[in-house]
């Protein structure tokens, strides 16, 4: 009964390759996120989808493309991987409650991406 | 640039003591504030959330919010070695966007 799941957990690949990370949540939430956590542990938002619509798109290279086929899934595709893409990528979900506030986010286990 | 600032630590406290973690935020429009705990190699997990000025208590944890000072804190009473982790402060600004601080590393010495 995992709440937010991600696959794969580990991803080792070479520069220039294309890879995808998948995320699924069974909490019935309407908002999902992708975060990148670098080696200094700083957690930075990349994208957010609300009801399958892209609502946050931070300054992320266009090599990164999120896709949300439905409210429960949010995938991240990365083209032409670079050394600097090495990080832990977390998926999260929450239920938006309007009025500029939100509920807490639930995080997936993370995908450790290593680009060699 | 909207920011959430935390002292990176490490903060070291003896077992049984009170650990005090602090956080400031720059966006006065922020409405929701969260404390997450992250063990090494694990994902962040929610400890506390607070929306209103004042204190909110949950077991050994107390979150404090002062919107006038743009200040959020987390107190951990009777600290245990199992509390040793990185604590992330977060503020939701503009509805969907949550800004995280860089985290404070806490060590509780047995």
pLDDT in tens, A23-57: 999 999 999 999 999 887 789 999 999 888 888 88
pLDDT reported for residue A98: 63
pLDDT reported for residue A50: 87
Q: B76 with B85: CB under 8 angstroms?
A: no
pLDDT in tens, B27-40: 888 888 999 999 99
Identify the residue among B41, B43, B94, B101 best suited for mutation to test binding to A, counting A beta carbons within 10 A and taking the highest.
Answer: B43
pLDDT reported for residue A103: 73
Q: A95 touching B, CB under 8 A?
A: no
Nearest to B93 by CA among B6, B7, B1: B1
Q: A62 touching B, CB under 8 A?
A: no
Asked if A43 lies within 8 A of B86 by C-beta distance, the reply is no
Query: Which residue in this structure is represented by tokens 């500029």?
Result: A100
**Quick one: average pLDDT of B57-79?**
96
How many Å apart are CA B70 and CA A57, to the nearest integer?
A: 26
Using CA atoms, how far residue B108 sits from B21, B27, B51, B73, B91, in Å, is: 13, 32, 28, 18, 26
Higher pLDDT, A99 or A108: A108
Residues of A whose CB is below 8 A from B38: 41
Q: B71 touching A, CB under 8 A?
A: no
Chains A, B: CB pairs < 8 Å: 65
pLDDT of residue A100 exceeding 60: no
pLDDT of residue A87 exceeding 60: yes
pLDDT in tens, B74-100: 999 999 999 999 999 999 876 678 899
**Quick one: average pLDDT of A79-87?**
96
Residue A8: helix, strand or coil by DSSP? coil
Asked if A100 lies within 8 A of B86 by C-beta distance, the reply is no
């Amino acid at each position: 009964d995992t709440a937010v799941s991600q696959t794969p957990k580990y991803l080792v690949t070479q520069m220039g390759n294309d890879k995808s990370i998948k995320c699924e949540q069974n909490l019935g939430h309407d908002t999902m996120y992708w975060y990148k956590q670098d080696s200094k542990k700083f957690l930075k938002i990349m994208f957010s989808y609300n009801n399958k619509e892209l609502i946050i798109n931070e300054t992320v290279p266009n090599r990164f493309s999120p896709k949300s086929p439905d409210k429960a899934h949010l995938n991240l595709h990365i083209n032409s991987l670079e050394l600097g893409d090495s990080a832990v990528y977390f998926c999260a979900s929450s239920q938006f409650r309007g009025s500029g506030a939100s509920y807490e986010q639930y995080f997936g286990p993370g995908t450790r991406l290593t680009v060699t | 640039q909207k920011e959430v600032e935390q002292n990176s630590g490490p903060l070291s406290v003896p077992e049984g003591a009170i650990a005090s973690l602090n956080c400031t935020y720059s966006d006065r429009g922020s409405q929701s504030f969260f404390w997450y705990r992250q063990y090494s190699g694990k994902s962040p997990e929610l400890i506390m959330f607070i929306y209103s000025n004042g204190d909110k208590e949950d077991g050994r944890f107390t979150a404090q919010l002062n919107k006038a000072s743009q200040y959020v804190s987390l107190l951990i009473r009777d600290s245990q070695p199992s509390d040793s982790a990185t604590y992330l402060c977060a503020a939701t600004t503009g509805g969907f966007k949550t800004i995280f601080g860089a985290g404070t590393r806490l060590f509780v010495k047995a």
